[in-house]
């Protein structure tokens, strides 16, 4: 029997820093993930704004640089063609761009079902022909006919298919998905409707929430620092009056600082007034448990943190 291909760890492929991001700090290059939020939180407007940024190589939300322009392929299942065109044109005008100059390709079939073999084959063929940098599908609830979104065994194969597309064609995939009703106090990823597979699947995830009249954005990455509660605002005129309309991070919002997992843990511990448990550190750092525990072990070996009976502290804090 033929063995699986292997190579020494030090020979694994590296990616230069300037090629890590599709949109710096917001979406990783060739990453899959979710744009989530409750109804009327501007999920589709955010998704289209990112499409314009990628197609033009301009800043997303007036804040996040896009290193290079690339083709975008999108399917907007809930909006008519003229609505999609008007919104894209409005976002482009707000950025000083012309929609006709942007390489944004729109799938125009009335339905696209990822649980249908024929539709999957047609989508794969379309991606193979166009080779987009970004695929946007909005929203997940309109991308299937029969599955139970709460059943992991039914959701996982559809998400696995999108992951296969991402790997086969070296592109990013954004999937718009709804949050649960009444989940405003839940952690962003846990607020997504349906199976936990959605949260686990994403390399980069964006979550929108509305608190009274204030819209906020939280950013979560599998392999980079996360950011919470960036305030967003609408700029320009009404979507229907012909005036440019865009979504942007408010000017007084802090710019996210890129740090390593160790930096984030040390910063949280330094600010804490008492020893912190693993769960408390994980919640504060918004970090996966496996990454957190491995990083804590490394920091302990370097004598930068101490594990006490009450929890973890920095090494310069007495137990």
Q: Under a CB-based contact definition with an 8 Å cutoff, are residues 162 and 175 in contact? A: yes
Q: Is 261 a residue whose pLDDT tops 90?
A: no
Torsion of CA 266, 271, 276, 281, to 10 degrees: -60
Q: Under a CB-based contact definition with an 8 Å cutoff, are residues 209 and 82 in contact? A: no
The pLDDT assigned to 189 comes to 66
How far is 297 from 213, CA to CA, in rounded Å? 43
Phi, psi of 255, deg, nearest 5: -80, 130
Q: Which fold has domain 261-314?
A: Arc Repressor Mutant, subunit A (1.10.10)
For 66-88, the pLDDT digits (tens) are 999 999 999 999 999 999 999 99
Task: Using pLDDT thresholds of 50, 70 and 90, give the confidence band for residue 211.
Answer: confident
Q: Mean of the pLDDT values across residues 191-198?
A: 89
At 9, list the tokens: 């760890």
For 44-66, the pLDDT digits (tens) are 999 999 999 999 999 999 899 99
The pLDDT assigned to 182 comes to 60
Q: Is 263 a residue whose pLDDT tops 70?
A: yes
For 91-147, the pLDDT digits (tens) are 999 999 999 999 999 999 999 999 999 999 999 999 999 999 999 999 999 999 989
The pLDDT assigned to 319 comes to 43
| Residue boundaries of the structural domains of the chain | 17-249, 261-314
The pLDDT assigned to 117 comes to 96
For 158-171, the pLDDT digits (tens) are 999 999 999 999 99
DSSP sequence for 243-311: S-EEEEE-TTSPPPPP--HHHHHHHHHHH-SS-B-HHHHHHHHT--HHHHHHHHHHHHHTTSEEEETTE
pTM summary value: 0.76
Under DSSP, the state recorded for 99 is G
Q: CATH 1.10.3720.10: does it fit domain 17-249?
A: no
How far is 244 from 92, CA to CA, in rounded Å? 8
The pLDDT assigned to 122 comes to 98
Q: Under a CB-based contact definition with an 8 Å cutoff, are residues 117 and 123 in contact? A: no
The pLDDT assigned to 52 comes to 98
Q: Is 317 a residue whose pLDDT tops 70?
A: no
Phi, psi of 279, deg, nearest 5: -60, -40
Q: Is 241 a residue whose pLDDT tops 70?
A: no
Report CA-CA distances (Å) from 132 to 69, 72, 166, 174, 220: 11, 5, 10, 12, 23
Q: Is 309 a residue whose pLDDT tops 70?
A: yes
How far is 143 from 115, CA to CA, in rounded Å? 8
């Amino acid at each position: 029997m033929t063995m699986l291909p292997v190579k020494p760890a030090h020979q694994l492929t590296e990616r230069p820093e300037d090629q890590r991001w599709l949109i710096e700090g917001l979406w990783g290059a060739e990453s899959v993930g979710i744009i989530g939020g409750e109804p009327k939180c501007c999920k589709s407007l955010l998704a289209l704004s990112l499409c314009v940024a990628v197609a033009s190589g301009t800043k997303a939300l007036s804040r996040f640089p896009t290193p290079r322009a690339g083709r975008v392929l999108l399917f907007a299942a809930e909006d008519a063609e003229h609505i999609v065109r008007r919104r894209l044109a409005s976002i482009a005008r707000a950025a000083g761009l012309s929609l006709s100059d942007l390489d944004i390709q729109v799938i125009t079939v009335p339905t696209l079902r990822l649980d249908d073999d024929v539709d999957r084959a047609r989508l794969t063929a379309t991606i193979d022909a166009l080779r987009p940098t970004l695929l946007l599908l909005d929203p997940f609830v309109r991308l299937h006919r029969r599955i139970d979104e709460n059943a992991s065994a039914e959701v996982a194969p559809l998400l696995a298919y999108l992951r296969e597309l991402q790997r086969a064609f070296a592109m990013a995939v954004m999937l718009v998905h709804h949050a649960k009703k009444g989940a405003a106090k839940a952690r962003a990823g846990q607020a997504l409707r349906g199976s936990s597979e959605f949260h686990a699947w994403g390399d980069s995830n964006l979550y929108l929430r509305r608190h009274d009249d204030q819209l906020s954005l939280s950013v979560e990455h599998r392999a980079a620092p996360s950011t919470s509660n960036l305030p967003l605002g609408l700029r320009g005129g009404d979507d229907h009056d012909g005036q440019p309309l865009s979504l942007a991070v408010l000017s007084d919002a802090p710019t996210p600082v890129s740090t390593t997992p160790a930096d984030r843990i040390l910063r949280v511990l330094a600010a804490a007034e008492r020893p912190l448990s693993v769960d408390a550190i994980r919640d504060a750092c918004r970090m996966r448990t496996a990454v957190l525990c491995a990083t804590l072990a490394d920091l302990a070996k370097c004598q930068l943190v101490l594990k006490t009976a009450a929890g973890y502290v920095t090494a310069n804090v007495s137990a």
